[in-house]
Amino acid sequence: METVQIERFYLGCLAHASYMVASGGVAAVIDPQRDIDIYLQAAALNGWKIESIIETHVHADFVSGHRELAEHTGAQIYLGAGSGAEFPHVAVKDGDRLEFGQCCLQFLQTPGHTLESICILMRDRSRPERPAVVFTGDTLFVGDVGRPDLSPTHTPQQLAAALYDSLHQKLLTLPDDTEIYPAHGAGSLCGRNMSSESFSTIGKQRQSNYALQARSSEEFIHLLTDNLAAAPEYFAREVDLNRKGASPLSQLPSLAPLPAAEVLHLQREGAVVLDTRPSAQFAAAHIPGSIHIALTGQYASWAARILGLDTPLILVGEDPDSLRESQMRLARVGMESIAGYLEDGLAGWAKSGFEFDSIPQITVTDLADLLQHEPDQIAVLDVREISEVEAGAIENSLSIPLGKLKARTAELNPDKLIVVHCKSGYRSSIATSILRHAGVRNIANLMGGFDAWKAAGLPCRTPADVAA
């Protein structure tokens, strides 16, 4: 007898997990990413027909492919009641079911992260001894719960109270061996303490998830909302786009090559040159005023946070493949205003006789020496998140998380050498480009970041020092 199969698709750039559940030749896709070919290919390979598309909520951190996938397959879209979705869909409530083959999907209304949030409880009828599986969306993560500040009509405290009830009255009433499959992993902006583990169980989360240790609703509300970092500005726009349903990716125009002179003209008209090359290449030579976000790492998420969704962009990449990948990743978060790319890359810029800029690099030992002998001439800027800084930092460093740097450059003293660092170098390279774009010249990037500082055995401020 055929059992139920679960296939997980993980998009590291956005820390986003989506799923395909199949049985009896029929499949349902849960929380699809915007580029839907992966689901179509998996279905064709296994002989499955995609008949259902389920969204655990209207997503704020990426553009969903639900509408295009439905148009390709004829599948029905399911969303929690009250979503406000403007495309054809079935609004589900507590206890509603979806059954195919040996699979039974039961919907649980779990408001809190958003008002329309749902979880999906799955049972395999061919294997009654198999633990149930619950797809938890952004309600419950491995190590965390969803942020409660994404509603224009409810306060974070109201949503946190609803989330507490959803967790304790719905999910935590399930058996301890129930497996949980969340929509995000470590690095997502929808929580702040997520694990890199793919899945867990209700029992393990009951014991280890910090948010589930709260002894009352009031304690839980404070735990989630006190010192909650503001949601990125683009989140609200992303929700609106997902409520309407994004246009097919096939409608994205081909990237146009732009001569260096045209790039310079468009830059002066307000376009931003987005350099996607590795950090070392950017540091050595780049177009003055360009913003650097390396294509590795969480490229699209940082691009949306720093530049917004509508900024006209000109791409600089290593090769045609990286440029196409860049366009796709930006489209996954709704960034489609791309004028083109620098023709012939940096060689084309040089051939036109235009000047380059560069970012000085400094080693941890050289920084330590400067701090010892010329402390009044140096300012160390830490662009890691507050939770990282609290776990350890360079003494007397200034903390401005990268996501807030653009709005806080006025806090920096331009008369000092500003040495920028993050954990290992990815975010600090972005930060140095933001500072240069803002006109701050006297900067350097700390090679290897805080990891290199610690590895060299150099002095750090520890949590114990902060407490003292």
The predicted-structure confidence for 105-130, as pLDDT tens digits, reads as follows 999 999 999 999 999 999 999 998 88
294 and 228 assigned to the same domain? no
The C-alpha atoms of residue 163 and residue 140 are separated, in whole angstroms, by: 9
The answer to the question of residue 273 being in a domain is yes
271 and 202 assigned to the same domain? no
Owner of token pair 């900024």: 311
The answer to the question of residue 210 being in a domain is yes
**Which tens digit of pLDDT belongs to each residue from 14-61?**
999 999 999 999 999 999 999 999 999 999 999 999 999 999 999 999
pLDDT score recorded for residue 463: 65
339 and 316 assigned to the same domain? yes
**Residue 224 CA to chain centroid, in angstroms?**
19
Question: Residue 119, Cβ neighbours under 10 Å: how many?
Answer: 26
The answer to the question of residue 356 being in a domain is no
pLDDT score recorded for residue 465: 55
pLDDT score recorded for residue 467: 41
Owner of token pair 């235009």: 354
Q: How many domains does the chain have?
A: 3
Domain at 390, CATH number: 3.40.250.10
46 and 107 assigned to the same domain? yes
**Which tens digit of pLDDT belongs to each residue from 5-24?**
999 999 988 999 999 999 99
107 and 125 assigned to the same domain? yes
Three-state SS letters, the chain: CCCCEEEEEEEHHHCEEEEEEEECCEEEEECCECCCHHHHHHHHHHCCEEEEEECCCCCCCCCECHHHHHHHHCCEEEEECCCCCCCCCEEECCCCEEEECCEEEEEEECCCCCCCCEEEEEEECCCCCCCCEEEEECCEECCEECCCCCCCCCCHHHHHHHHHHHHHHCHHHCCCCCEEEECECCCCCCCCCCCCCCCEEHHHHHHHCHHHHCCCHHHHHHHHHCCCCCCCCHHHHHHHHHHHCCCCHHHCCCCCEECHHHHHHHHHCCCEEEECCCHHHHHHCECCCCEECCCCCCHHHHHHHHHCCCCCEEEECCCHHHHHHHHHHHHCCCCCCEEEEECCHHHHHHHCCCCCECCCEECHHHHHHHHHHCHHHEEEEECCCHHHHHCCECCCCEECCHHHHCCCHHHCCCCCEEEEECCCCHHHHHHHHHHHHCCCCCEEEECCHHHHHHHCCCCCECHHHHHC
Partners of 78 in beta bridges: 54, 90
pLDDT score recorded for residue 171: 98
pLDDT score recorded for residue 231: 87
Domain boundary among 351, 373, 401: 351
pLDDT score recorded for residue 176: 97
129 and 29 assigned to the same domain? yes
The answer to the question of residue 345 being in a domain is yes
pLDDT score recorded for residue 218: 97
What is the model's pTM? 0.91
Owner of token pair 């399911």: 78
The answer to the question of residue 282 being in a domain is yes
230 and 269 assigned to the same domain? no
pLDDT score recorded for residue 445: 98
Which of 333, 330, 246 has its CA nearest to residue 62? 333
Domain boundary among 351, 371, 403: 351
65 and 197 assigned to the same domain? yes
69 and 160 assigned to the same domain? yes
Domain at 20, CATH number: 3.60.15.10
Domain boundary among 290, 317, 351: 351
289 and 223 assigned to the same domain? no
Domain of 35, in residue numbers? 5-244
44 and 130 assigned to the same domain? yes
Contacting residues for 451 by C-beta, under 8 A, at least 6 apart = 423, 424
Which of 129, 442, 430 has its CA nearest to residue 290? 430
Owner of token pair 């081909």: 254
**Residue 208 CA to chain centroid, in angstroms?**
23
266 and 136 assigned to the same domain? no
The answer to the question of residue 227 being in a domain is yes
Strand ranges across the sheet with 49-54:
5-11, 16-23, 26-30, 49-54, 76-80, 90-92
pLDDT score recorded for residue 192: 73
pLDDT in tens, the chain (468 residues): 678 999 999 998 899 999 999 999 999 999 999 999 999 999 999 999 999 999 999 999 999 999 999 999 999 999 999 999 999 999 999 999 999 999 999 999 999 999 999 999 999 999 988 899 999 999 999 999 999 999 999 999 999 999 999 999 999 999 999 999 999 998 887 777 788 888 999 999 999 999 999 999 999 999 999 988 888 889 999 999 999 999 898 888 899 999 999 999 999 999 999 999 999 999 999 999 999 999 988 999 999 999 999 999 999 999 999 999 999 999 999 999 999 999 999 999 999 999 999 999 999 999 999 999 999 999 999 999 988 999 999 999 999 999 999 999 999 998 999 999 999 999 999 999 999 999 999 999 999 999 999 999 999 987 655 443
